[in-house]
Amino acid sequence: MPAGSLVGSLIVGRLADKIGRKKTIMISGWIWVIGSILQCAAVNRGMLVAGRVISGIAVGIASASVPIYQSEITAPAIRGRLVSMQQWSITWGILLQYFVEFGCSYINGQASFRIPWGLQMIPAIVLSLGMIMFPESPRWLIDHDRQPEALEILADLHGGGDPNTELVQLEFAEIKEQVRFERTEGARSYMDLLKPGIFRRVGLGAALQMWSQLSGMNIMMYYIIYVFQGAGLTGRRGNLIADSVQYVLNVAFTVPAIIYIDRWGRRPMLLVGTFLMGFWLMLVGGLQGGFGNWGEVDGARVWVITGNDAATKGIIVCSYLFVCSFAITMGPVSWTYPAEIFPMRVRAKAVSVTTAINWLFNFALAWAVPPGLASIAYKTYFIFGAFNFAAFIHIFFCFPETSGRTLEEVEDIFTQGHIYTAWKVDRHVGERTLQQVIAKEKDTDSHEDHYEEKA
């Protein structure tokens, strides 16, 4: 499925620019339904795999297009909060599917796996039908010369229906100015991602998605049963109940991030999160290495702690604290930051590439972690802990703050440099008043008129 998501995320760049953000999201929902039908009706492994790949394509499209859409319709003051809702929705999906599958595991026969595969169609249908009532991205509309529609949507979203509100006029003028500037930059293609200034941002977005996967969260999501099994927690029911706690924590601790992401800022959340995640993973590895040994569980050779209740509980607590640290920091920011650092002309393509990196590492870790746990056992946690500390250093030096700024003001931050001095970016860089934007727009118009007269 992550392999299909990799393909889907790469499709978004061209699709979202051509037909719009809204229709792209709707299409992703119906592709998911097709994949779910194939899985639910699967009569052999090939049919099941085909359904998983198709569903993966849908996830890739949605995971890349939804943050773009959210960032382009949201006021700067709450943009992080709204984009973070995607991560919160993901945590709810993980929690619900876990309990659905937990309950269905007690059903005898094929219904135990066909019911979950069938039920997963419901959210996709709700998404596709619900998007009918949502507006198109005003930035996409202006880029396609549909300015009256864009102004009306901006007024409804940010001005209570009044197009003369200062915030609405400021955003409208800024977007027009930015679109006009971007059209002079030449053809919009994937080659634009290699241009100076853009390539650096693609690197930052891709790196953040990479660090998100290398943080070790997928160990706790995909393989938590094996983690707790190695910690000495035995018994099917006890293990499954302990696993469910972390899914609940994942949902609960994403809420503070949604509420305060625009107040705390992106950089502090990422720095605190990577440090804490690295710390907890080092503790898990240390406890496993210090109190465990090679043994046998259910006929398989595993590194396991036996007869040490304190060490078992310590590993479980550290695992829970790790999940909480991810949920309140890296989880929501890893989707918010890449969606707001790119200019309009490459935003869809750039976000699709960064999201593809997310799914590429997701796919790789799905294959690499089980052999890692089976061969080097507790040392696996040290590796992921080291990844988090490396991410901390990278973020400190290279990731400037973007919270509270319009997407056009974010553009000013990156055009001024600050490649390795991200911590020095002034809080007021890029801030502009309505009068400044309109004055600049008039100046641009007068230059265009002058050149037209000369022509």
CATH number at residue 290: 1.20.1250.20
In a domain, 347, yes or no: yes
Confidence of residue 450 (pLDDT cuts 50, 70, 90): very low
Residue 423, in any domain of the structure: no
Print the domain residue range for 18: 2-142+153-163+173-184+194-412
Query: Which of the four pLDDT bands, split at 50, 70 and 90, describes residue 101?
Result: confident
- pLDDT tens digits along 256-292: 998 888 889 899 999 999 999 999 999 999 999 999 8
Q: Quick check: 315 and 284 in contact, CB under 8 A?
A: yes
Residue 305 parent element (H or E): strand 300-305
- DSSP H helix total and E strand total for the chain: 21, 2
Residue 95 and residue 247 in contact, taking contact as beta carbons nearer than 8 Å:
yes
Minimum mean pLDDT range among 45-49, 267-271, 402-406: 402-406
pLDDT at 360: 92
pLDDT of residue 295: 85
Residue 398 vs residues 106, 200, 264: alpha-carbon distances, Å: 50, 10, 18
Distance CA 397, CA 158 (A): 34
If DSSP codes are grouped into helix, strand and coil, which group holds residue 297? strand
Does a structural domain hold residue 429? no
Mean pLDDT of 51-64: 94
For the chain, what is the domain count? Answer: 1
pLDDT digits (tens, 9 = 90+) for 216-257: 998 788 888 888 888 888 766 667 778 889 899 999 999 999
Distance CA 171, CA 179 (A): 12
Which letter does DSSP use for residue 424 in this model? G
pTM of the full predicted structure?
A: 0.80
- Which residue shows structure tokens 């640290």? 325
Residue 446 lies in a domain: no
For residue 294, list its beta bridge partners. 303
Highest mean predicted confidence (pLDDT) among 209-223, 231-245, 377-391, 406-420:
377-391
Half-sphere exposure of 44 (CA within 13 A, CB side): 1
In the block, tokens 């056009």 appear at 408
> What's CA 391's distance to the chain center, in Å?
16
pLDDT at 455 over 50: no
Q: What is the mean pLDDT of residues 3-23?
A: 90
Question: CA–CA separation, 329 vs 80, rounded Å?
Answer: 12
pLDDT at residue 426, as a whole number: 57
The CB-based long-range contact list for 301-306 (8 Å cut-off, 24+ gap) reads 301/374, 302/226, 302/229, 302/230, 302/373, 302/374, 302/377, 303/230, 303/373, 303/377, 303/378, 304/229, 304/230, 304/231, 304/232, 305/230, 305/231, 305/232, 306/232
For residue 297, pLDDT beyond 80: no
Mean pLDDT over residues 56-75, rounded?
89
CA distances from 54 to 34, 36, 157, 359 (A): 7, 8, 34, 14
Task: Classify residue 115: in a domain, yes or no.
Answer: yes
Torsion of CA 394, 395, 400, 401, to 10 degrees: 180
Any idea what DSSP says for residue 307? Answer: S
Distance CA 230, CA 242 (A): 13
Mean pLDDT over 367-392 rounds to 92
In sequence order, the 6+-apart residues with CB closer than 8 A to the CB of 422 are: 267, 396, 397, 398, 399, 400, 401
- Residues 33-42, mean pLDDT to the nearest whole number: 96
Angle between helices 330-340 and 309-328 (to 10 degrees): 20
Q: What is the structure's pLDDT at 379?
A: 93
73, 40 Cβ separation under 8 angstroms: no
